[in-house]
Amino acid sequence: MSEQQQDKGKGAFRKAWDAQKKQAKKHNTKPSSKTKLHPRNPHNGPYNLDELVKSVPELEEYIILNVKGEKTVKFAEPQAVLLLNKALLLTYYDLEFWEIPEGFLCPPVPGRADYIHYMSDLLAGSNFGRMPKGDKVTCLDIGVGGNCIYPIIGSHAYGWNFIGSDTDTRAKKSATDIVANNKRLKGKVEIKLQPNMKDILYGIIDHSTKVDMTFCNPPFHASRAEARESSLRKQSNLQKKGATESVLNFGGKGGELWCEGGERRFVSNLIKESKKFEKNCFWFSTLVSKQSNLKAFQDSLDYNKATDVRVISMTQGNKSSRILAWTYLDHEERKAWRAERWG
């Protein structure tokens, strides 16, 4: 790559932060405070626990009063977190059924909804402020898990279609069962098994497939031990003192939480594979937990000649995360994509 090309790529990445600020201002997506979620996220503000208990009566057993005398949930208890998220999904997302295998990842619904809504803003910004909805949009959820969370939220909020992939046969079966047992998901969500543990996109899409966006919540940890240490720290923060065994309050199997090389290797591999499908997707994206990894991803995207890169910051309570999104399409290709798929 020439120095001119390198400078152009690095400039695109450096401009990502400024571009995101402009995007947020244009679409009113900038959180008004550190604890605020996306403005269209229905989970802003305290949980209406009385309403949620109507959807899942078993949740009431895990509701307590905090020091202020306010109702809250025993967040340190895995079953409490599972029931809370089930109640949120049944109450807000028009579901009739949602069950996941024991021990599988039960992601916090509000944070996952934020990812969906911020990506919808990015899509609208690529379409002159008009948000593509319904069957005009197909998304790929890389690592759909047994919970099927992104297809559930994205199809409800915007009517998008989804392909969900996973390497775990039990996760695939669970997600398939969720789709089969909810009328509104049938015909909107397709679940596929990734047959090769080393592949991410290969085996799931081919060069005839068109995907408007990808979603990915990568395994953050590099080993089982690292995942366990993280869990114990979280337990300590939740005041479960004296814990000697790592019990994740949000669950999670090995492949959902860790992989060899952790987040850095997984996302680097995703970027490398995405180049092979550069004309098949408008916006590739992934969550990035560790900000220190962004530089490595910047270098990889520069090398692979991404034409636009965005870094979208998100905050839920005391937790900060970010979306890394990129495209390889040039101006004329984006124009053709809009006309063909969103017109």
What pLDDT sits at residue 105?
Answer: 86
B/e letters for 115-146, b = 16+ CB within 10 Å, e = fewer, are: bbbbbbbbbbbbbeeeebeeeebbbbbbbbbb
What pLDDT sits at residue 1?
Answer: 44
What pLDDT sits at residue 219?
Answer: 84
**Residue 274: exposure state from Cβ atoms within 10 A (0-12, 13-18, ≥19):** buried
Nearest to 119 by CA among 274, 285, 282, 275: 285
* Torsion on CA atoms 63, 66, 70, 72, rounded to nearest 10: -30
Q: What is the reported pTM?
A: 0.83
Q: What is the pLDDT of residues 293-343, one digit of tens each?
A: 999 999 999 999 999 999 999 988 778 899 999 999 999 999 999 999 998
What pLDDT sits at residue 238?
Answer: 46
Which tokens is 292 given? 């220190």
282: pLDDT strictly greater than 60: yes
255: pLDDT strictly greater than 60: no
What pLDDT sits at residue 261?
Answer: 64
What pLDDT sits at residue 230?
Answer: 46
What pLDDT sits at residue 244?
Answer: 35
Q: What is the pLDDT of residues 41-93, one digit of tens each?
A: 999 999 999 999 999 999 999 999 999 999 999 998 999 999 999 999 999 99
Which tokens is 310 given? 């965005």
What pLDDT sits at residue 319?
Answer: 81
What pLDDT sits at residue 326?
Answer: 98
- For residue 94, is it within any domain? no
Higher pLDDT, 275 or 221: 275
CATH number at residue 21: 3.40.50.150
Domain count, the chain: 1
- For residue 95, is it within any domain? no
What pLDDT sits at residue 294?
Answer: 96
β-pairing, 189-193 with 308-316? unpaired
To the nearest whole percent, how much of the chain has pLDDT over 70? Answer: 78
Q: Which domain holds residue 320?
A: 3-47+106-342
- Region 137-164: mean pLDDT is 98
HEC readout, the chain: CCHHHHHHHHHHHHHHHHHHHHHHHHCCCCCCCCCCCCCCCCCCCCCCHHHHHHHCHHHHHHEEECCCCCEEECCCCHHHHHHHHHHHHHHHCCCCCCCCCCCCCCCCHHHHHHHHHHHHHHHHHCCCCCCCCHHHCEEEEECCCCCCHHHHHHHHHHCCEEEEEECCHHHHHHHHHHHHCCHHHCCCEEEEECCCCCCCCECCECCCCCEEEEEECCCCECCHHHHHHHHHHHHHHCCCCCCCCCCCCCCCCHHHHECCCHHHHHHHHHHHHHHHCCCCEEEEEEEECCHHHHHHHHHHHHHCCCCEEEEEEEEECCEEEEEEEEECCCHHHHHHHHHHHHC
7: pLDDT strictly greater than 80: no
What pLDDT sits at residue 35?
Answer: 56
- For residue 75, is it within any domain? no
| Of the listed ranges 97-106, 198-207, 251-260, 294-303, the one predicted with least confidence | 251-260
| Of the listed ranges 21-25, 121-125, 269-273, the one predicted with least confidence | 21-25
pLDDT tier for residue 20 given thresholds of 50, 70 and 90:
very low
What pLDDT sits at residue 126?
Answer: 97
Average pLDDT, the chain: 85
Q: What is the pLDDT of residues 166-219, one digit of tens each?
A: 999 999 999 999 999 999 999 999 999 999 999 999 999 999 999 999 999 998
Distances, alpha carbon 175 to alpha carbons 141, 180, 203, in Å: 12, 9, 18
16: pLDDT strictly greater than 60: no
Which tokens is 236 given? 């300590």
The number of CA neighbours under 13 Å toward the Cβ of 238 is 20
31: pLDDT strictly greater than 60: no
- Region 234-257: mean pLDDT is 44
- Region 213-232: mean pLDDT is 64
To the nearest whole percent, how much of the chain has pLDDT over 90? Answer: 72
